Amino acid sequence: MFSGGIGLPEVLLVLAIVLIIFGPKRLPQLGRSLGSGMRNFKESVSGRHKDDDDDDDHPELTAAKTDDRPAGERPVNEPVGRSGE
């Protein structure tokens, strides 16, 4: 049956089994979800997304605030970045 690959009779058999298991009401929903899953997989593999053109959404990174006081002059419980505020 599978010596030459999957042919038309095998595909029809699989489709008939799927129709019996899921029923005619759920087939469109099943097809949509399968299609959207394949589309998402294809986009993730190719690295292209619909919103890749917009780099304005990401905030710019800023340097961390530092405390120039020696460790002995700085209180123990005071965080390093909060001394100048």
pTM across the whole model? 0.41
More confident residue, 58 or 85: 58
* Each residue's pLDDT tens digit, 9-18: 999 999 899 9
* Each residue's pLDDT tens digit, 27-61: 889 889 999 999 999 999 987 766 555 555 666 77
Q: What whole-number distance in Å separates Cα of residue 39 and Cα of residue 18? A: 22
Structure tokens that stand for 76 in this block = 């123990």
Q: Residue 79's closest CA among 62, 63, 66, 70? A: 66
Tell me what pLDDT residue 57 has: 61
Contact between 81 and 67 under an 8 Å Cβ cutoff? The reply is yes
Q: What whole-number distance in Å separates Cα of residue 39 and Cα of residue 34? A: 9
Tell me what pLDDT residue 13 has: 94
Side chain identity, residue 64: A
Tell me what pLDDT residue 80 has: 62
Domain edges within the chain: 7-43
Whether pLDDT at 82 is above 70: no
Side chain identity, residue 73: E
